[in-house]
Structure 1
């Protein structure tokens, strides 16, 4: 979906947030509604979660003394925690999520009329978000379609009866054709709910996180305006006698205060997004890391196609967050470098004091962190992968 530059960025953002909300509304959570109300879709989602949890626990306990069977049954426990974290975040923090979206929308509505540069920057950031959404959607569609097709493909290839999700339903043995069909359909519905929930939850989180980059770009525009005024001051100084007043001080003071106010807005927004989503992000990364470790252990013992596919799904789900975290780190660096590039020596003494406070604060940005300890970045993902490999090797050596 692409738009010409003439289209209002605020209208695009409003439409985009409504489209994302329509996905969560399919699961019974209307984030943009003033008051959250439970309906049949909400209870259907809750039933799918309870259904999956109950059958998984039963399959883990009813393993016939084979730890490998229990390990395979617990394989998608990471996906359960992941989806449950997103669902509970939408339920418990509904008002905060709605408030954040409406606040961002108001920023778009205000700044789209402040000139071509702001209009173009807002549109380009929406284009960037649409590109990220396209990558996430294609990845999830491919992964979950592969998971859904695998049992049918193996059944037609050599008659092997496997399930996409590694749990069994009591009273429905897979040897019976009817029972196998019912099991497959129940798991297929669960996967659809899971896939839509994963995708919709990711979009709301990314909608909030990517605005950090938008605000960083807008801060750059404000600093460019300030630098132009300061360079004009330097040019005018060469044309007047020594000690004479250089006109335009009120404008320069206004532009400096605009930069300081916007940096404070940027800092408050980063703090607000982190407070809203840090539990969900931590759950996402750590639960997918757990699923990767279980999948890796299972395939070290013997190759198991469903767990191998879920390993790819888990790695993909974790990596998109860590890659975005690294991109956000570049955004924080951009803010700091932009502030450092201000022509501060053209500021007056009082203005330099204000600028120094902003510069000091920009050195310690409110970055997105996992459990308040690890930064959300590709570097952290690599550390987690190393830990998974070490733990997996240790478990295999002990067995």
Structure 2
């Protein structure tokens, strides 16, 4: 029995359907042109507002007795701020997100019929995106599921009241069975909304910023066709060269649009991930929150996921420029040789994805942040040793 091979449009369609599914779970499927704010969206917003209000009141009431509770409560604040930034960006750029989604679907339809090489490049791109999505999904599943599982085990194994998150509902007595269950239910709702919301935000980041690698693969095929046509003195050489020039312009424009959409998301992701890691490390040293060991996995994963994708874009920009240099200029007519010069100059100064408008989104930036976190962590150790 032969296995049915999916066409590139079908493979990409599966990715988009999965994106629609996860986004709809948090009421933010803005990639759908028929999207409307619904009851799930309103519930999500209520959970976010309740989280901040109740966390603030809880910290204010406990701070005088235990100031470290502020750090414990601050661990998840970073993730909540990331989720809010992704949600606001999704609403603010809803038309652009939907437009890019349709644009990519049309691109897959256009190029899958141009030959086996193009179809292979499209399928390879879908496979790359799926692999990263599965990896990120596994991190969220292991960390989120693990935190919930640890909480459930401690509820039954401990005589003390165990909570999933770090806030109490004013006026609700957690020492009563009903009050404890109400608080735990709200914690679970906020936690699940947060986990799926962060995953949904990461999905459209991965899908959109996973495409420049596809654009590079298609450029390689375009340059190959041009060189073959130029070597044969074909009349199609000029048309193929114009296609490459337009393709580079499209690639540059696509990166600029993505940079605009993800500007605030990237900045918030990197800054809050660093702060969350520092707070979580301190809580691990104090041993006050069992879920901290898994939560720090999410914090580090979020930091390096975005920075690795930024580095991929940088590498892609360099490879794009190098591939343009692979055009056999000596086989082109003089007027066509002159046409390629401005594009080569432009390709040597590509647009980069920035954090806060000045730091490049790259692994180097992540390593600098990690080095800073390590320095702060050693200071924490000394502080605790002096107090003991």
What's the TM-score once normalised by structure 1's chain length? 0.89
Residue 138 (structure 1) shift = 1.0
Q: Which has the larger radius of gyration?
A: 1
The residue that corresponds to 1:297 in the other structure is 282
1:397 Cα shift?
Answer: 5.9
- The alignment status of 1:381 with 2:366, answered yes or no, reads yes
Matched, 1:88 2:88: yes
**1:197-346 map, 5 Å:** 197-230=197-230, 232-233=231-232, 247-248=233-234, 250-302=235-287, 304-346=289-331
How far is the alpha carbon of 1:152 from its aligned partner? Answer: 2.2
User: Could you tell me how far apart the structure 1 residues matched to 2:342 and 2:156 are?
Assistant: 69
1:103 alignment counterpart: 103
Give the superposition deviation at 1:48: 1.0
Match of 2:53 in 1: 54
The whole-number CA distance in structure 2 between the counterparts of 1:298 and 1:92 is: 36
Query: Equivalent residues in 2 for 1:142-161 (5 A)?
Result: 142-161=142-161
Q: After alignment, is 319-328 or 194-203 more displaced?
A: 319-328
Quick check: 1:323–1:378 contact (8 Å CA) kept in 2?
Answer: yes
The CA distance in 2 between the partners of 1:229 and 1:64, in whole Å, is 74
The alignment partner of 2:62 has SS state of: coil
- Structure 1: which 4+ aligned runs deviate by more than 4 Å? 392-399
- Following the alignment from structure 1 to structure 2, what is the Cα–Cα distance between the partners of residues 160 and 142? 25
Cα distance in 1, alignment partners of residues 342 and 58 from structure 2 = 59
User: Quick check: 2:20–2:32 contact (8 Å CA) kept in 1?
Assistant: no
Contact residue 56 and residue 74 of structure 1 kept, 8 A: no
Q: CA deviation at 1:215?
A: 0.8
Give the Cα–Cα distance (whole angstroms) in 1 for the partners of residues 26 and 264 of structure 2.
21
Is the 1:26–1:41 Cα contact (8 Å) retained in structure 2?
A: yes
> CA–CA distance in 1 between the matches of 2:24 and 2:285?
40
Name the counterpart of 2:42: 43
Distance (Å, rounded) in 2 between the aligned partners of 1:273 and 1:63: 43
CA contact (8 A) 1:326 1:377 kept: yes
In 1: Cα distance, 2:73 partner to 2:361 partner: 29
In 2, the alpha carbon distance for the partners of 1:119 and 1:317 equals 32
State the shift of 1:160 in Å. Answer: 4.2
Provide the residue aligned with 1:239 in structure 2: none
Rounded Cα–Cα distance in structure 2 between residues aligned with 1:373 and 1:393:
28
Q: Which residue of 2 aligns with 1:31?
A: 30
Specify every segment of 5 or more residues in structure 1 that has no aligned partner in the other structure, as ranges.
234-246
Structure 2 stretches of 5 or more lacking a match? none
Cα shift readout 1:114-161 (whole Å, capped 9, x = no counterpart): 111111111111111111111111110111011111222223444343
